[in-house]
């Protein structure tokens, strides 16, 4: 099988999975959250971390499609789902740029490292003036 055939096969498989999950006709898959689009890659005992910030695609904005309202519930049928509005948490801390650190905190809760180890890594890797903010963002995600 050549590269083009492999790519087409993978594309068809993704569309099959999307069709199984989506409560809408095939061809309107762009209205789905990215978590739903890639959930099939998750291993059986994996954890799906979802930023629960709604971002309407252009098809929804223009009225050509409807946003599926039960995405998290659908994902929860087959996967362990952890949902957080990381952007809202980051804004509560006063800086939307720590969004990713909030997500890292959520992820860390599901890994085999201690919170203190993560906080130490943050202290060693972010600019000194942002250490405290990033550590608070990590804790916000870790404690969510």
Percent of the chain with pLDDT over 90: 35
What is the pLDDT, as a whole number, of residue 143? 94
Higher pLDDT, 86 or 37: 86
End-to-end CA distance of the chain: 46
**Structure tokens that stand for 136 in this block:** 């608070």
Query: Mean pLDDT of all residues in the chain?
Result: 80
Is 50 exceeded by the pLDDT of residue 31?
no
Tokens 């999975």 correspond to what residue?
A: 17
Over residues 48-76, the mean pLDDT reads 81
Higher pLDDT, 84 or 14: 84
What is the pLDDT, as a whole number, of residue 15? 58
Using CA atoms, how far residue 26 sits from 67, 90, 118, in Å, is 14, 35, 42
Tokens 């994902």 correspond to what residue?
A: 75
Q: What's the pLDDT band for 27 if we cut at 50, 70, 90?
A: very low
pLDDT tens-place string over residues 112-127? 889 999 999 999 999 9
Tokens 């085999």 correspond to what residue?
A: 112
| pTM (predicted TM-score) | 0.68
Buried b or exposed e, range 50-75, using 16+ CB within 10 angstroms:
bbbeeeebeebeeeebebbeebeebb
Using CA atoms, how far residue 83 sits from 36, 40, 76, 103, in Å, is 13, 17, 10, 10
Q: What's the pLDDT band for 23 if we cut at 50, 70, 90?
A: very low
């Amino acid at each position: 099988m050549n590269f083009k055939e492999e790519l087409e096969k993978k594309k068809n498989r993704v569309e099959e999975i999307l069709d199984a999950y989506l409560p809408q006709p095939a061809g309107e898959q762009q209205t789905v959250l990215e978590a739903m689009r890639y959930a099939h890659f998750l291993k059986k005992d994996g954890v799906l971390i979802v930023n629960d910030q709604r971002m309407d695609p252009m098809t929804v904005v223009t009225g050509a499609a409807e946003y599926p309202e039960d995405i998290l519930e659908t994902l929860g049928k087959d996967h362990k789902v952890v949902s957080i509005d990381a952007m809202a948490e980051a804004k509560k801390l006063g800086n939307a740029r720590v969004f990713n650190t909030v997500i890292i905190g959520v992820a860390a809760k599901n890994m085999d490292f201690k919170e203190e180890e993560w906080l130490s890594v943050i202290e060693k890797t972010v600019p000194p003036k942002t250490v405290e903010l990033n550590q608070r963002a990590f804790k916000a995600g870790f404690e969510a």
